[in-house]
Amino acid sequence: MRFTHLLASAAKVILLWAAVALLPPLHAQQALQAQDAPQRPGLEAKSAYAASQQAIGRTIGDYTLTDREGRPVRLASFRGKPLLVSFIYTGCFEVCPTTTRALNDTVRALQGRFGTNQFNVISVGFNQPADSPQAMKAFAAQHRISQPNWDFLSPPPAVVGPLTRDFGFVYQATPAGFDHVLQVSLVDAEGRIVRQVYGDRPAADALGEPMKQLLVGAPLPEATALETIIDQIRLLCTVYDPKTGAYRVDYSIAIEAAGGLTFFIAVALDLFTEWRARRRARRGRRPA
């Protein structure tokens, strides 16, 4: 039993080391965010980007929206897992469909890496009352979005303003429809926005890396831990392949982690053996 606890503790140390080693440098993240600033005609780019970035760290209010079947859904019901949030309007004929289909590809890649039950996705129709539950249902069906962890939600008209402000989502009516920031918000398990990813084709790595940190940062359960440890190692040892847009297992990371764990156990056993030898030697020197 003690050896099992030792193994689990050693695994946690290796996982923590690997998570820290895989974190990108802070200046690289800042540079990426600067390059990600949305450039959308019709909106003042700097103020739209500033409003979006100011939402990071904000806890989203517990708004009640309506799903495709007309059922009320509280945003608080999504807490406990990371959440991806996008804003769309169903009357859009080009940008929103393209962005949603691209997000669908990204979600599939993330599911291949993390599993279908590790995170949720919602698309929110901000053009009310046009983006009704029926319109959102038709939009999802038209673009073949059938992921079990993806909901399409309609907020009441009175909720649209405070909801979009919470997310830092900026939009503006135009003669052709709406001009709006193209963003996907990553929300943590406590309902806080932790990252904004911009563009009409959000890459899996842009969302997958911060999501990985959220999932790795979750505490490991105390019990059997074997399946959980395997899942955590698999989580850390997958890398994004930009050629395929998917994740693959990098076995070199697994080998390094296994080597580090083996070294840790060997050192622990060596210290234990030396301690036992010294203890026996002290007993042998005791006077009769």
pLDDT in tens, 64-123: 999 999 999 999 999 999 999 999 999 988 889 999 999 999 999 888 888 888 999 999
pLDDT category at 260 given cuts 50, 70, 90 is low
Whole-number percent of the chain with pLDDT over 70:
68
Q: Which of 7-16, 176-185, 208-217 has the lowest mean pLDDT?
A: 7-16
pTM score > 0.85 for this model?
A: no
Mean of pLDDT values over 220-239? 42
Domains and CATH numbers, the chain: 1-24+220-288 (no CATH), 36-218 (3.40.30.10)
**How, if at all, do strands 238-241 and 177-180 pair?**
unpaired
Q: Are 275 and 24 in contact (CB under 8 A)?
A: no
The residue type found at 135 is A
Q: Is the pLDDT of residue 238 over 70?
A: no
Q: Is the pLDDT of residue 40 over 60?
A: no
Q: What is the mean pLDDT of the chain?
A: 76
Phi, psi dihedral angles at 48 (to 5 degrees): -65, -45
**How, if at all, do strands 193-198 and 238-241 pair?**
unpaired
CA dist 221 and 229 (Å) reads 9
pLDDT in tens, 132-158: 999 999 999 999 998 899 999 999 999
pLDDT category at 15 given cuts 50, 70, 90 is very low
Q: Which of 136, 51, 44, 24 is nearest to 88 (CA)?
A: 136
> Helix, strand or coil for residue 90?
coil
